[in-house]
Amino acid sequence: KAGVTQTPRYLIKTRGQQVTLSCSPISGHRSVSWYQQTPGQGLQFLFEYFSETQRNKGNFPGRFSGRQFSNSRSEMNVSTLELGDSALYLCASRRLAGERGETQYFGPGTRLLVL
């Protein structure tokens, strides 16, 4: 069974630009979550999507947005990039949302560098 895939794996952008990251969950998984990992702030929750609806959102500015498609694939977008947005962005999927014991399976991540 294929795991969670993320594209691209590496990205370099400049301040002010925008970026779109893509995540394909494990087949049959309908919930997709996004996390940001930085050395200073650690792992922080961005948002979760289930059945094309955003279920929960973390404490990030509106520049961070996402969406989910009918095939459960998800994208996240960051507009007007800032240097502090440099991070590893991790996508995680699980079969359902809100179920006890549902492990979130993480993808390899997209490493974004903002110059």
Partner 1 sequence: ELKVEQNPLFLSMQEGKNYTIYCNYSTTSDRLYWYRQDPGKSLESLFVLLSNGAVKQEGRLMASLDTKARLSTLHITAAVHDLSATYFCAVDWSGSRLTFGEGTQLTVNP
Residue numbers at the binding site for partner 1 (CB under 8 A): 33, 35, 42-45, 48, 55-56, 58, 90, 92, 97-101, 103-109
Smallest gap from Cβ 3 to partner 1, in A, equals: 9
Round to whole Å and give the CA distance between 49 and 55.
Answer: 6
Q: How far is the CB of 69 from partner 1 (least distance, A)?
A: 20
Q: What minimum distance in Å lies between the beta carbon of 56 and partner 1?
A: 4
Closer residue to partner 1 in complex, CB, 70/103: 103
- Pick 19 or 23: Cβ nearer partner 1: 23
Least distance (Å) from partner 1 to the CB of residue 12? 17
Closer to partner 1 by Cβ: residue 42 or 62 = 42
Rank residues 73 and 106 by Cβ distance to partner 1 and give the closer one: 106
Q: What is the SS3 string spanning the chain?
A: CCCCEEECCEEEECCCCCEEEEEECCCCCCEEEEEEEECCCEEEEEEEEECCEEEEECCCCCCEEEEECCCCCEEEEECCCCHHHCEEEEEEEECCCCCCCCCCEECCCEEEEEC
